[in-house]
Structure 1
Amino acid sequence: MILYYLLLFSSAFLAATILPFYSEVVLFALLRDGGDPIVLVSIATLGNTLGAVVNWLLGWYLLHFQDRRWFYFKPAQIERAQRWFQRYGFWTLLLAWMPVGGDALTLIACIMKVRLWLFLLLVGTGKALRYISVVYLTAWAPV
């Protein structure tokens, strides 16, 4: 069973990075095989949230290049976007689970100076809710 947990964690971790991976399929299969939903959701959420932290760190790394001439955004643009994101945009991290755009949100979050504790709280909550919905959809799926 440990191997299945590692497979789920790995697929969830990779799915949160910019790589095209779908951990819901693995979760669905393990649930259909009788896996404990609480344990499986916990493992998938942890893996997926930690994968999103990789994107957050990449955003932090990109900020080191903001003084370079080739860097796309000007400092004034970054400051304005950071103020807006801090005021309105951090709630969008609840949508970081989305297959399209979710990875970009997690990358932009660090550029927009979202604190890691807030990032973990919002991203983890959104991703946990997604995996919980997979549990409920699995229960309704025909055998």
Structure 2
Amino acid sequence: MSPELWGLFVSSLISSTLLPGGSEAYLAWLTVDGQYPTEQLIAIATLGNGLGGIITFAMGRLVAIRYPFRMLQQKSHRHVKLYLTRYGSVSLLLSWLPIVGDPLCFVAGWMKFNFLLSAIFIMLGKFLRYCVVAGIFL
């Protein structure tokens, strides 16, 4: 795999953990450049970003071992807990959102959502986002 594609993968992975990144801009640049098939770029970005979301989910799972989720009883957290309880793993379709997406994956892991369903919805949400980004720059 070329350095540009590895860069897209790493940028996408980092962008989906609790660290900032610029995977959308990198994907847009590579899409406009036209050197690689758009489908390949979307697949690599989705894989990196999805794995980052799953890593963040796993970090939440690890935190749950030491700190049970019931510890979040503050009023400001109740609406998030209610939303996540109501929609479960499906809410992870929104994991692509800036600012709230990464914490959403973390809290879903903390709440011990089903891993397989969560991974599917994380990947699907990320895939849809990258399809839109690439589509804009085609």
Report the TM-score when normalising by structure 1: 0.82
Question: Structure 1: where are the runs of 5+ without partners?
Answer: 75-80
**CA-to-aligned-CA distance 1:84-128 (integer Å, 9 cap, x gap):** 735424322101001120001100111111111111111111100
In the alignment, the residues of structure 2 paired with residue 84 and residue 2 of structure 1 have an alpha-carbon distance, to the nearest angstrom, of 42
TM-score, with length taken from structure 2: 0.85
Counterpart secondary structure, 1:99: coil
**Counterparts of 1:26 and 1:109, CA distance in 2:** 28
1:85-96 alignment runs, 5 A limit: 85-96=84-95
Alignment of 1:1-143 (within 5 A): 2-34=2-34, 35-66=36-67, 72-73=71-72, 81=81, 85-139=84-138
Matched residue, 1:78: none
Partners of 1:49 and 1:40 in 2: how far apart? Answer: 14
The RMSD of aligned alpha carbons is: 2.3
Q: Which has the larger radius of gyration?
A: 1
- After TM superposition, the runs of 4+ consecutive aligned structure 1 residues lying more than 3 A away are 71-74, 83-87
Residues 13 and 50, structure 1, Cα contact 8 Å, conserved in 2 = yes
**Would you say how many aligned residue pairs link Structure 1 and Structure 2?**
131
Say which SS state the counterpart of residue 96 (structure 2) adopts: coil
